[in-house]
Structure 1
Amino acid sequence: MTKKFPPISAKLPVFMHGADYNPDQWLHDPKVIEEDIRLMKLAGCNVMSVGIFAWAALEPEEGRFEFGWLDRILDTFAENGIYAWLATPSGARPAWMSQKYPEVLRVGANRVRNLHGARHNHCYTSPVYREKVAILNAKLGERYGSHPAVVGWHISNEYGGECHCDYCQEAFRGWLKAKYGSLDALNRAWWTAFWSHTYTDWAQVESPAPHGETAVHGHNLDWRRFVTDQTIDFYRHEIEPLKKVSPELPCTTNFMDLFYDLDYRRFAEAVDVVSWDAYPTWHSAESDADVAAWFSFNHDLFRSLKKKPFMLMESTPSLTNWQPVSKLKRPGMHRLSSLQAVAHGSDTVQYFQWRKSRGSSEKFHGAVVDHVGHEHTRVFRDVAELGAALANLSDLIGTTVPAEAAILFDWDNRWAVNDAQGPRNKGIGYEQTVVRHYRALWELGVPTDIVGSNDEFGGYKLLVVPMAYLMREETGAKIERFVRDGGTAVVTYWSGVVDENDLCHLGGFPGPLRTTVGVWAEEIEGLHDHDKNALAMQEGNPLGFGGTYEVREICELIHTETAEAIAFYGDDFYAGRPALTVNRLGSGRAYYLAARVSDPAFYDSFYAAVVRESNARRALDAALPAGVTAQLRTDGVCDYVFLLNFSGAPARVELDGSSAASYSDAETGESLAGTLELPANASRILKRA
């Protein structure tokens, strides 16, 4: 039976291919807009995001609205078979508003109010700003909610930042009262007896400040949670008038690459479809595999937030203008990086931007249409060729990624880890550690979900738990149940240390995971950059590989309780003590890695053995060259295997060694067998029953 999600929009049940479009920058020259329509069709672009920063064009002065230009754009789209994600323009308010209502401008952590400028420089709590947004959004909803060209609402743009004004201070106190109920409960949760920071009046509680309170970790953690909740509340305020008139139209807002300041796992609950903006720094090293693994992790994360296809809302068809070095995409990279998103679950490929701006900060940012203004460019040809390819891949729309492996990643754990003041305050490397473990699965072609503490783990065979410093009791219980029921877990150092309030677990680390992994972690040591140790595999260990591997940055001194040591430290006063263990619990097993191994070969061998042992599904049961990955989407009847070569060199994949399945090229229908040649930056989509 075919198992698919419905298309993001029934109006456009194919791959959405398009870009951010800013006709409000070209209203003085109608010929440009007329030419844009011709070029969109030539490039195979069928959808545009319109009006993202158009507030000044829509409401040039308070209460005076100008919709004629937008009427003409959308009507022209409809006449030409082009669709629109229509934006609310709240990402940057007009100057007249900042001048008349300075309260809409943000106040920094230093308690100084910002001047007008930039974008997202506004207070999400301000009653005036909320009123003005509601008025404009209601008018957009009433006017365009049933327009044939509109497929959905693009809410604001890349939400981010925080405000510390009086409105936000009161909102923060209200949030805390709702969470804790009393000051006594708050003081216990924040451990305010430390340094005599006990609160005796709610009015004493303020947001963290560089010239005030920053040392109470529970306080810092709750402030970050509040900022997320307040941003989500503002988003819900934005969509309310739109949903009232067009409940069937999906709403989204574009997330960003592993963005730090907002908990996207919570934010995803509020959007109808997840969308995000990907800007890899391709060609910044000898091999693009490091960059590719990081962005594959992001694609898997954003797909996993709602366990269904997502949108690549922004990418660049050529280069950026804001990274330290802006490299051109080499031949093949535009298709490769775009299909990378599709392979991990995206049902769209969209760009910033359609046409290059003539002035201001993004005038040199990549675009489909360059300043020269015609189609005779390398970038335009790359986009048009991809558009033609996507048009022939509509069978992929709504297909799923059948992951049997998962990695635990939580934002509040991330915040707590980086605020811990623990073994390495010069850089604890949480995100890099998570992606290091992920990369080993990526290189094996193992479809992987990125899950949170509130998710269920029962559908997986392999669960990786890297640096789960903040570990709730209930999450620990779920992981224990997962292992007892037959799952394989991999847990690392610096896990199970604090609870959800950033209070240390008592009774021994790793706290709620101690029974699961069968070890007691007595001490943890941070190593200087010039220090190193070694992890030596025990001969005849159950994983079946040996060797000695370099260790850097973090070493945890552990005692085995019910676990078996399968690798040991090689140096220092703890030479000979366990560094890697396995604990058999119920029908499953849990591995505990006590040190940060710096040698990639260890992760390659370790995860190859663990994946084989857990029987977690691979996209292709074949040896993959370094820098080549295989990713998988399926509709339950046909599998689509994406072979993506990020090695920077030609590579070969032996299909006959993968299985008895017969393969064909999903784009051409050509039968495939034997050795498949992949040039540098090549991408192939294979189809099998």
Structure 2
Amino acid sequence: MSLWYGGDYNPEQWDPVVWKDDVELMRRAGVNLVTVGVFSWSSLEPSPGEYRFGWLDRVLDLLHGGGISVDLATPTASPPPWFSRLHPEALPVTADGLRLTHGSRDTYCACAPAYRTAARGIARQLAEQYHDHPALAMWHVHNEYGTTCYCDLAAARFRDWLRERYGSLDRLNEAWTTAFWSQGYADWADVEPPRKTQYLVNPTHCLDYRRFWSDELLAAFREQKAEINAVSELPVTTNFVFGGWVPVNHAQWAAEVDVVAIDHYPDQAGIGAEEQTAFGADLARGWAGGKPWLLMEHAAGSLNDGRRWHTKEPGRMARHSLSHVARGSRGALFFQWRASRGGAEMYHSAMVPHAGPDSRRFTEIEELGSVLPRLAEVAESNVVAEVAVLWDVECWWAMQGTHLPSSSLDYLAAVRSAHRHFWRAGLTADFAAPDADLSSYRLVVVPSLYLISDEAAANLRAYVEAGGQLVVGYFSGIVDPDLRVRLGGYPGAFTELLGVRVEEFHPLPEDGTVALASGGHGRLWSEHVHAISAEVVDRYADGVLDGLPAITRHEVGAGTAWYVSTEVDDETAARLLGLSPSPLETVHRRRGDTTWTFLINHGEQEAVAPAAGVELVTGEQVDGAVTVPGGGYAVLRST
């Protein structure tokens, strides 16, 4: 079993004389899989019903002749200009009522019948044309599902979705608390998308619109997948993209794809990029239920912090790629193979840069291509994780609203902070859903789980009663799935489990801190906590909360539930979680009696780790310890 290596290949951007050179360079680099066709709709169907597959026939034949497999994509993320001209009603509308024009990618509304028909049509044509081509390894539907629209077509579909979810307007009015601000609905026709309005929008209305779009986009994916499955038995996937703008519940979607695949682009340039790389990989593994998944896209040569590009230093591309492989990916793919000469992303980094193959970047691409085959034996092993961080996308969506008591409350930041503590200690953490089976974990961290169902809360209690260690963060358990506050004191769903009652929130200034009796400090947030049956572990040491509980512990059954009512400093968090810093990113994978250990050094100084076995990159025997140079890595097999 090999590891996949390659990336998006867009031959339609290049003269055919370049194609043969591309295949030779791919062979030289060790590429064995490329994604073809993602943005090629106008090249495949230049006018309605006129299909031109000759160029794609030639490309697939060339790739197959070079021993390179293909992940063939449907091009439905970028409808051609003729489609938008003929179907202006399918152009997307923003929340403030502006209908967008053609000129970029994703210029469509997935609720438009014309778009759905056209998408099924091009998927059917591709499936029938290429289902038996020997180059094919898998199918790739669409690209980075996540587009939202607020048009009248979307409004009609939304009303249908709400009828199915709630059954009656009475139930919808209850869930949305429409008695507030005289929003009660007496006719389904009055229900619209949460468009821009005078002041604050209804938070449950917004949350349901996210839920609706996840389901609607999934229905669009299923339609294309059905066209492919009608003639092909090869795996079908789509590339998940992660971001605050994405209305997709990837945990639910994971059951619909044959292979979970992700795109990952960190938005930090320093060590935070490495932390985010591990975060994204662990999240993908969680979506995949611990099974192998695939890194479909990442950047070969740059990082983007939202203001400017940062060129990856020598060795950093390989470290990012291997971090994904260590954490369960079946390989490392990039966007894209060859840097574009023009277009909106002409400066996006690529495996073959504008400088060509005579470049540092391509040399590193070749080096990584020579390393991955030596690691292929890890492909069917499982990542070892003894701790977990809870993740719930609906909680994230709910906390992106404008109704919270502090603009500093940030669910994603709280989850990343919890994950970062384990990463810095060289421990691998799984991401798990609140209602998942948690029995295999010795420790579970619950960061700012604002929204939780009764069933999920009961699941966490059962985990603790059976002997689990649960650490619950501030602003957790506050609302039910309808975003209705659980009355009687915070943290609502967790008051009995934690043995505490929070009387009031005390948000801190953006740059403010509060001292703790232990010598640490909290930031962002604090709470007036009453320890009802819990033991006080740490107290606030200044301000209006001076002397009141800040951190508590409560024994329940055979386990313990901890409550942390502020965002504590890293040293306090490490002490609470029993963690020690590690100079190496460390991930263990296991199959039977064999363990593989990935050691990745993101620092400048060499680091030594106890180890025994065979180092797969060099083939050398290790007995006692291995030295990992600054910026280097090692992968050991032990039995």
TM over 0.5: yes
Residue aligning to 1:544: none
Q: 2:334 aligns with which of 336, 345, 351?
A: 351
Alignment of 1:397-416 (within 5 A): 397-416=379-398
Q: 1:322 to 1:498 in 2, by over 3 A?
A: closer
1:23 aligns with 2:5: no
- C-alpha distance in structure 1 between counterparts of 2:623 and 2:422, whole Å: 25
Shift of 1:654: 3.6
- For residue 555 of structure 1, what is the amino acid of its counterpart? S
- For residue 3 of structure 2, what is the amino acid of its counterpart? F
- For residue 577 of structure 2, what is the amino acid of its counterpart? Y
Residue aligning to 1:578: 549
SS class of match (1:311): strand
- C-alpha distance in structure 1 between counterparts of 2:619 and 2:533, whole Å: 54
Shift of 1:334: 1.7
Residue aligning to 2:597: 641
Alignment of 1:169-248 (within 5 A): 169-211=155-197, 214-246=200-232, 248=233
Residue aligning to 2:558: 587
Q: Deviations over 1:4-55 (max 9, x none)?
A: xxxxxxxxx31110111011112xx222011111111001001110011000
Instruction: Judge which range, 382-391 or 523-532, deviates more.
Output: 523-532
1:278 aligns with 2:228: no
- C-alpha distance in structure 1 between counterparts of 2:445 and 2:340, whole Å: 44
- C-alpha distance in structure 2 between counterparts of 1:120 and 1:291, whole Å: 27
- For residue 320 of structure 2, what is the amino acid of its counterpart? S
Residue aligning to 1:456: 437
SS class of match (1:327): strand
Q: 2:575 aligns with which of 605, 625, 628?
A: 605
Alignment of 1:143-154 (within 5 A): 143-154=129-140
> Contact 2:78–2:106 at 8 Å: present in 1 too?
yes
- For residue 604 of structure 1, what is the amino acid of its counterpart? A
- C-alpha distance in structure 2 between counterparts of 1:654 and 1:342, whole Å: 20
**Residue ranges of structure 2 left out of the alignment (5+ in a row):** none
Alignment of 1:500-649 (within 5 A): 500-537=481-518, 548-597=519-568, 599-608=569-578, 625-626=582-583, 628-647=584-603, 649=604
Instruction: Judge which range, 227-236 or 479-488, deviates more.
Output: 227-236
1:316 aligns with 2:286: no
1:480 aligns with 2:468: no
Shift of 1:281: 5.3
Q: 1:96 aligns with which of 64, 79, 82?
A: 82
> Contact 1:470–1:500 at 8 Å: present in 2 too?
yes
Q: 1:258 to 1:115 in 2, by over 3 A?
A: closer
> Contact 1:524–1:557 at 8 Å: present in 2 too?
yes
> Contact 2:142–2:238 at 8 Å: present in 1 too?
yes
- C-alpha distance in structure 2 between counterparts of 1:53 and 1:320, whole Å: 23
Q: Hey, which bits of structure 1, 4+ residues long, moved more than 4 A?
A: 320-323
Q: 1:141 to 1:259 in 2, by over 3 A?
A: farther
Shift of 1:420: 5.9
Q: 1:676 to 1:211 in 2, by over 3 A?
A: same
> Contact 1:214–1:220 at 8 Å: present in 2 too?
no
Residue aligning to 1:432: 413
Give the structure-1-normalised TM-score.
0.90
- C-alpha distance in structure 1 between counterparts of 2:627 and 2:375, whole Å: 22
Alignment of 1:314-393 (within 5 A): 314-319=297-302, 323-373=306-356, 375-393=357-375
- C-alpha distance in structure 1 between counterparts of 2:194 and 2:525, whole Å: 29
The number of residues matched between the two structures is 637
> Contact 1:665–1:672 at 8 Å: present in 2 too?
yes
Shift of 1:323: 4.5
Shift of 1:631: 1.0
Q: Deviations over 1:277-300 (max 9, x none)?
A: 122357x34xx2x22112211110
Q: 2:620 aligns with which of 667, 670, 675?
A: 670
Q: 1:258 to 1:671 in 2, by over 3 A?
A: farther
Residue aligning to 1:256: 241
Instruction: Judge which range, 363-372 or 470-479, deviates more.
Output: 363-372
SS class of match (1:634): strand
- C-alpha distance in structure 2 between counterparts of 1:685 and 1:43, whole Å: 21
SS class of match (2:421): helix
**Residue ranges of structure 1 left out of the alignment (5+ in a row):** 1-12, 538-547, 610-622, 657-661
Shift of 1:372: 4.1
> Contact 2:260–2:284 at 8 Å: present in 1 too?
yes
- C-alpha distance in structure 2 between counterparts of 1:207 and 1:350, whole Å: 37
Q: 1:681 aligns with which of 624, 631, 636?
A: 631
- C-alpha distance in structure 2 between counterparts of 1:431 and 1:519, whole Å: 25
> Contact 1:75–1:149 at 8 Å: present in 2 too?
yes
- For residue 455 of structure 2, what is the amino acid of its counterpart? E
Residue aligning to 1:37: 23
- C-alpha distance in structure 2 between counterparts of 1:319 and 1:573, whole Å: 47
- C-alpha distance in structure 2 between counterparts of 1:360 and 1:149, whole Å: 28
- C-alpha distance in structure 2 between counterparts of 1:403 and 1:210, whole Å: 44
Q: 1:651 to 1:407 in 2, by over 3 A?
A: same
Shift of 1:624: 5.3
- C-alpha distance in structure 2 between counterparts of 1:197 and 1:365, whole Å: 46
Percent of counterpart pairs with the same letter? 37
> Contact 1:625–1:652 at 8 Å: present in 2 too?
no
SS class of match (1:437): helix
SS class of match (2:311): coil
> Contact 1:469–1:494 at 8 Å: present in 2 too?
yes
- For residue 342 of structure 2, what is the amino acid of its counterpart? G
Give the structure-2-normalised TM-score.
0.97
SS class of match (1:431): helix
SS class of match (2:589): strand
Q: 1:530 to 1:138 in 2, by over 3 A?
A: closer
- C-alpha distance in structure 2 between counterparts of 1:454 and 1:92, whole Å: 37
Shift of 1:637: 2.3
> Contact 1:583–1:589 at 8 Å: present in 2 too?
yes
- For residue 591 of structure 2, what is the amino acid of its counterpart? D
> Contact 2:173–2:184 at 8 Å: present in 1 too?
yes
Residue aligning to 2:71: 85
- C-alpha distance in structure 2 between counterparts of 1:135 and 1:464, whole Å: 46
